[in-house]
């Protein structure tokens, strides 16, 4: 429990005030919730909030009890969708400590998203301090079960009360946290993808490279179609030709070929620059593997899967980390990738990444941000 008089210094000349939850979840109830938290349904006691307006800049930084916002029905976010967010995790390390994984990359991407959405830019050091403070406050909510972690959701919304199409003059930045287990359920050895031919995620000049809610909202109808087709996730093609593979509804994608090389679609402005994606490209080099960023068509993917040239495929992202892809379905027919289960390179990449995240092996790239 935080002391009410303690302060945390932050960037941009701000000091966080601390307001401990008056009635935190009982320790026994918390232990029960952490036995099987699922994903995104069990929330911690506290949150961070910081406010912005054009007169004061960033101000009123708080660590406080998690509670609903009071919003005017004319708040800009409700009408013009100025909203951005991040997804990241805090992990229990092998030595009992707690750490974040590459949080500075999340801070940088959050700022880039704000620029694209014409929102106030949160200083990166302030973003980082807000995350660290919340993890220190609610570290007891990190599950001890294998694979468990504390999922962190920093987000920012336009809060000015007005009806008019212009950038908001006021914003609320907040961080909430959720105790999580595995992202995918059911114990399947690999996920299946529905190739969407009717819907696209992003177009050149759009918001594909920003992490904003609208990108995910537009993916939901396609994801629902994937579920109806018996698939776990949707795979989007490019908006111009409906030919080139881009990404899943919430994850990037990699392909592994029979010569041991890896390939992933290039970042041309329509694909989210995933931090897990970037980490895998670096780890591939560490392993002596050739990793290319290049366009890959769905027709070529099918042909390579059928010929055996394409041996493995996997999705990657903060929530799922690395998820093997076993099958793709589309109107022209289904096809299996490799054995239909996780391949050796996929499992090797998953192990290498999670071992670094949890402090089981040395961290040669200084990716771990130790909190305690």
Looking at residue 182, what is its pLDDT?
78
Contacts of 299-306 with CB under 8 Å at 24 or more apart are 299/243, 301/245, 301/255, 301/328, 302/328, 302/332, 302/335, 304/255, 304/257, 305/335, 305/336, 305/337, 305/338, 306/335
**Distance in angstroms (rounded) separating the CA atoms of residues 248 and 277:** 13
User: What is the Cα 304 distance to its own chain's centre?
Assistant: 30
In this prediction, residues 296-309 reach a mean pLDDT of 98
The answer to whether the beta carbons of residues 195 and 235 sit under 8 Å apart is yes
Give 27's pLDDT tier (boundaries 50, 70, 90): very high
Q: Give the mean pLDDT of 68-87.
A: 97
Here the tokens at position 7 are 């302060």
Split at pLDDT 50, 70, 90, the class of 116 is very high
User: Could you tell me if 313 and 256 are in contact, meaning their C-beta atoms sit under 8 angstroms apart?
Assistant: yes
CA distance 87 to 155: 9
What's the Cα-to-Cα distance from 320 to each of 132, 179, 182, 252, rounded to whole Å? 22, 14, 7, 11
Report the predicted TM-score, pTM, of the whole model to 2 decimal places.
0.94
pLDDT score for 185: 62
pLDDT above 50 for 18: yes
The SS3 call for residue 31 is helix
Say if residue 194's pLDDT is above 80. yes
- Split at pLDDT 50, 70, 90, the class of 189 is confident
- Whether residue 251 has pLDDT greater than 80: yes
CA dihedral (184, 186, 192, 197) in degrees, to 10, reads -70
Using DSSP, state whether 239 is helix, strand or coil. coil
């Amino acid at each position: 429990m935080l002391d009410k008089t303690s302060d945390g210094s932050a960037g941009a000349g701000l000091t966080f005030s601390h307001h401990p939850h008056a009635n935190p979840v009982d320790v026994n109830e918390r232990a029960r919730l952490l036995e099987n938290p699922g994903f995104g349904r069990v929330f911690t006691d506290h949150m961070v909030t910081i406010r912005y307006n054009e007169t004061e800049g960033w101000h009123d930084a708080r660590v406080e009890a998690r509670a609903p916002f009071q919003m005017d029905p004319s708040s800009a976010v409700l009408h013009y969708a100025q909203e951005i967010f991040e997804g990241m995790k805090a992990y229990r390390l092998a030595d009992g400590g707690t750490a974040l994984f590459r949080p500075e990359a999340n801070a940088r991407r959050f700022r880039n998203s704000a620029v694209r959405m014409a929102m106030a830019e949160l200083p990166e050091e302030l973003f980082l301090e807000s995350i660290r403070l919340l993890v220190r406050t609610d570290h007891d909510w990190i599950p001890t079960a294998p694979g468990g972690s504390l999922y962190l959701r920093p987000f920012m919304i336009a809060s000015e009360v007005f009806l008019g199409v212009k950038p908001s003059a006021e914003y609320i930045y907040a961080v909430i946290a959720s105790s999580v287990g595995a992202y995918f359920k059911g114990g399947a050895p690999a996920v299946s993808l529905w190739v969407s031919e009717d819907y696209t995620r992003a177009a050149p000049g759009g918001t594909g490279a920003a992490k904003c809610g609208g990108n995910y909202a537009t993916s939901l109808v396609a994801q629902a179609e994937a579920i109806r087709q018996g698939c776990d996730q949707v795979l989007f093609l490019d908006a111009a030709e409906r030919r080139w593979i881009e990404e899943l509804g919430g994850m990037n994608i990699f392909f592994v070929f029979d010569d041991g090389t890896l390939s992933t679609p290039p970042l041309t402005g329509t694909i989210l620059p995933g931090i897990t994606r970037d980490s895998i490209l670096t780890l591939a080099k560490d392993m002596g593997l050739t990793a290319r960023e290049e366009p890959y068509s769905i027709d070529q993917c099918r042909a390579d899967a059928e010929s055996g040239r394409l041996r493995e495929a996997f999705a990657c992202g903060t929530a799922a980390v690395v998820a093997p892809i076993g099958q793709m379905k589309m109107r022209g027919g289904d096809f299996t990738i490799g054995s239909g289960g996780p391949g050796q390179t996929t499992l090797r990449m998953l192990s290498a990444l999670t071992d670094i995240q949890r402090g089981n092996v040395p961290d040669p790239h200084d990716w771990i941000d130790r909190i305690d």
